[in-house]
Structure 1
Amino acid sequence: MRILVVEDEQDMNLLIQKVLKRSGYSVDGCFDGQEAEDYLAGTEYDVILLDVMLPKRDGYQLVADLRSKGVDTPVLFLTARDSIADRVKGLDLGADDYLVKPFDFDELLARIRVLSRKRVGHKSNQFTVADLTLDVERRQVYRAGQEIRLLPKEFSILECLIRGKGNVLSRRQIEDSIWNYDDTPSSNNVDVYISKLRKKIDGDSPVKLLHTIRGVGWVLRDDGAAALAGQDGKEV
């Protein structure tokens, strides 16, 4: 999951980024409304953490502009402005949630999980495909009741696939979701991680869950499910 942090107080911005990265998220940070527009024009994010009082363009203007363009990315306002009128204004403009500074980081992480669940129409922190379970909050993965140890990037790629289960994700889509602007993934990074991930979650199991759609990308689904309709390319 990729998150954009828009906060003009540099120390706070960097601290939020540190906490999010430690929790396994891919994170980009910027310090004013115009810079945020540039980031959002180039990348799709799963959640935006947005301060209200920003240089160049404030958070209210930014979220109103996003919604007018049909961008439905969840927005969580982070602000010291705690009046009811301020909260109502932000929510009416299209924000999804509001967290007043100072806040507890555990609460921030919980609210991010709620927003990410709502976006994919899921009601819990656990995602399943067949006998594979991924717990976002605990960052644990189980197959047939046995825990599977994954590296951080492996977990992030699996989370990306399981959130979009049944949908084929391209290399570019996975890279955009997992790596931030400070990362420089090589052209075969995703392929290498997918190969390792397949060995760990499928192994010797007769039911394979991670499939390659040649020339398109990868999909996570039950091997016994019907073939995906309308997809080009051959499954291997």
Structure 2
Amino acid sequence: MRLLLIEDNPRLRELLTESVHRAGWRIDAFGTAQDGREAIATTPFELLLIDLGLPDGDGLDLIREARRNGVQTPILALTARAAIDERIAGLDAGADDYLVKPFNHGEFLARCRALLRRAPDTAPVVLSAGHLRFDPARGVLSCNDDEIALTRRERAIVEVLMRDVGRVTPKGRLEHALSEFGDELSTNALDLAMSRLRKKLDGFAAGASIETIRGIGYLLREIGE
């Protein structure tokens, strides 16, 4: 899962980024409407978190623009505007939910999970391959009901491979899944993360294996009984 946060308060932006990372999701965070606008236009996200009080424009205008451009990604509006008419305006502009500052970070993550479950035209809520089950909204991978502890990068790899199960996933796509804006990947970051993930899966009767397709990428293949 990849989220976009547009919030001009540096401290809140940092705290929300930490919360999202702890939930096992990736996040790109910006402080202006223009940076957010460019990110929406160039990168697919599963959830948009938009502050309404931005230094270079109203977040409501950004939400309306996204909807006019056909963006169907769920949007959670973040704002200090608590009046009922302000909340109505946010929902009418195209937001799917509204969270008034200050808010509890547990509630913030719960609302994110709810919106991710309602995301349109996505893969099934729980992905499966062999005996593996992955819940993208919760970032949880399990095998025969035993949870497998993963790092954030390992979760990103699992999600992409399980959406492509039985098909070769290009290396570049996996590298993109590991990256975030401003996050430089080392040349062997994918190889290291893949190696650690394989070792973890070896400890379970996963019923699936990750194969290297030299010069192309990786394949998650289900193993027959």
- Please confirm whether the aligned pair reaches a TM-score higher than 0.5, indicating the same fold: yes
In structure 2, C-alpha distance between the alignment counterparts of 1:84 and 1:172, rounded to whole Å: 46
1:111 lines up with 2:99 in the alignment: no
SS in 1 for 2:53: coil
Which stretches in structure 1 are left out of the alignment for 5+ residues?
A: 225-236
1:141 lines up with 2:150 in the alignment: no
SS in 2 for 1:150: coil
In structure 2, C-alpha distance between the alignment counterparts of 1:80 and 1:204, rounded to whole Å: 47
Q: Structure 1 residues 52, 219: CA separation in 2 closer, same or farther (over 3 Å shift)?
A: farther
The offset of 1:35, in angstroms, is 2.0
Partner of 2:43: 43
1:70 lines up with 2:62 in the alignment: no
Kindly provide the CA deviation profile for residues 6-62 of structure 1, in whole angstroms up to 9, marking residues without a partner as x: 112222222211222232222222112112123333422221110112122211111
> Is contact 1:2–1:178 with CA below 8 Å preserved after alignment?
no
The offset of 1:205, in angstroms, is 5.1
Partner of 1:3: 3
> Is contact 2:167–2:219 with CA below 8 Å preserved after alignment?
yes
1:23 lines up with 2:23 in the alignment: yes
| More strand per residue | 2
SS in 1 for 2:50: strand
Give the 5 Å matches for 1:75-154: 75-119=75-119, 120=122, 122-123=124-125, 126-135=126-135, 140-154=140-154
Partner of 1:170: 170
Q: Structure 1 residues 132, 78: CA separation in 2 closer, same or farther (over 3 Å shift)?
A: same
Give 1:6's aligned amino acid.
I
The offset of 1:115, in angstroms, is 2.0
In structure 1, C-alpha distance between the alignment counterparts of 2:64 and 2:138, rounded to whole Å: 34
Partner of 2:198: 198
The offset of 1:75, in angstroms, is 1.3
Q: Structure 1 residues 212, 96: CA separation in 2 closer, same or farther (over 3 Å shift)?
A: farther
> Is contact 1:44–1:176 with CA below 8 Å preserved after alignment?
no
1:155 lines up with 2:155 in the alignment: yes
Q: Structure 1 residues 220, 206: CA separation in 2 closer, same or farther (over 3 Å shift)?
A: closer
TM-score after normalising by structure 2: 0.80
The offset of 1:170, in angstroms, is 3.1
What RMSD, in angstroms, separates the aligned Cα atoms of the two structures?
3.0
Q: Structure 1 residues 220, 34: CA separation in 2 closer, same or farther (over 3 Å shift)?
A: same
Q: Structure 1 residues 137, 35: CA separation in 2 closer, same or farther (over 3 Å shift)?
A: closer
Give 1:51's aligned amino acid.
D
Sequence identity, in percent? 38
Aligned residues: 222
The offset of 1:122, in angstroms, is 4.2
